[in-house]
Amino acid sequence: MMNLKVLKDEDDHAQAIARLYALMDLEPEEGSIENDELEVLALLIERYEEEHFPVELPSPVDAILFRMDQQGLSRKDLAPYIGSLPKVSEVLHGKRTLSLAMIRRLHKGLGIPLDVLIQDPEQQEHFDQGVNWLDFPLKEMHQRGYFAGFNGTLSELKGYAQEVVGGFLKSVNLQSSAQPMMARATSHLRENDKMSDPAAMLAWQARVLHLAHSQPNLPAYVSGTVSQDWMRDLARLSWSQQGPALAVEFLNKAGIHVVIEKHLPKTYLDGAVCFSEARHPVVALTLRHDRLDNFWFTLMHELAHIALHFDGTETWYLDNLDAISTDPREDQADALAQEVLIPQDSIPNGLPTDAAGVGQLAQTLRILPCIIAGRARREAGSYQMFGRAFRSEKEVRRILTENGYL
């Protein structure tokens, strides 16, 4: 009888194989010492070979072809799983990779093991994250060039939405699987009567980070830079006809990114602020209301969040400034933005109600008159106030475009 032990090397393996064959030739009876030895040897050999001679998985295409042969399936039968006959042909000829949507259908419909169909580590990471990837506004994201390096059609994007959108989010460390990324646990979303689309919100956040990362390197941001006095210096740039462009330059020199990115449908955003991985503040503006007064107030509101609320944690403040807020942080940011632009002690008798008063106060504060007129209109609830005076529609985007910021 062979001395039974764990097989540790090729010599042990060879000796065990030789002894196994010898025992098999004896055809030992059930329950005999030789039969027990044969069974133990078989287990030892199997364990050694599993560890040292692993069987490679077949390729996904080979597995599909095997299942077709096994079940007598034609290429036409694969169309419901892969999408169309041309796509079936491309997959079987190795010209098209399986999308995660295809993999799910092939696994569920034909019983092909997932570990065979998913051999790409990135696909394994994206699989089964509990997200309906078609909820993302793919058409708008595709049209706006969100997906650098993806040159396919919208139809192809829908077929590979999990890979493309998942990669887009992962590249800026946003998690696709989580509603919490879009909730107050990590994002402070100003209350809104309209229901915001969380998938569109997350896509917009990722786009903002991509654009911030693509901007030239900025000097290091020094914590505490954004203060009331600093914001007041910034506000005085509004006096210039190139005020918005000067504001971007002013913020960049302080190490703050400014991103202008149009809001996506059902997001109702005016602005947002966060910190990048490199610890630079990122102020994002949508110019949803392309007016100079709105630009300056939104900018100051987001900067107020930096001054008052950022404590080193990773978070976002997402703002629809038309909405009524129940969050004290939003009230605090509103109050600081208003105080910076129009100090309370400068209007002891309230805001001016005529054009002459607006002009005089603007000259005293050295800010753009439409900022004063805009606040007066808003507080009075009368947007006809001052008639056509102090109107500034469609100016911000034009100024930023002319100065190379858009």
Amino acid at 254: A
Q: Is the pLDDT of residue 179 over 70?
A: no
Q: Tell me, what's the pLDDT at 366?
A: 95
CB within 8 A of 95, min separation 6: which ones? none
Long-range contacts of 398-402 (CB under 8 A, 24+ apart): 399/241, 399/242, 399/243, 399/244, 399/245, 400/244, 400/245, 400/248, 400/260, 402/245
Residue 273 and residue 384: Cα distance in Å, rounded? Answer: 32
Mean pLDDT rounded to a whole number for the chain: 87
Q: How far lies 342's CA from each of 173, 178, 346, 370, in Å?
A: 39, 40, 7, 12
Q: Is the pLDDT of residue 338 over 90?
A: yes
Query: 42-51, 101-110, 193-202, 231-240: lowest mean pLDDT where?
Result: 193-202
The structural domains of the chain, ordered by start, are 10-52 (no CATH), 60-123 (1.10.260.40), 210-405 (no CATH)
Q: Is the pLDDT of residue 181 over 60?
A: no
Segment 119-156, tens digit of pLDDT: 766 666 555 556 788 899 999 999 999 998 888 899 88
Q: Tell me, what's the pLDDT at 180?
A: 31
Amino acid at 399: I
Segment 344-353, tens digit of pLDDT: 999 998 999 9
Q: What average pLDDT does this structure show over 329-340?
A: 94
Q: Tell me, what's the pLDDT at 313?
A: 66
Segment 249-302, tens digit of pLDDT: 999 999 999 999 999 999 889 999 999 988 999 999 999 999 999 999 999 999
Q: Tell me, what's the pLDDT at 372?
A: 94
Q: Tell me, what's the pLDDT at 185?
A: 32
Strand order in the sheet with 257-260: 187-189, 316-319, 271-275, 281-285, 257-260
Q: Tell me, what's the pLDDT at 167?
A: 87
pTM exceeds 0.75, yes or no: no
Segment 211-255, tens digit of pLDDT: 999 999 999 999 999 999 999 999 999 999 999 999 999 999 999
Task: Say if CB 369 and CB 359 are below 8 A apart.
Answer: yes
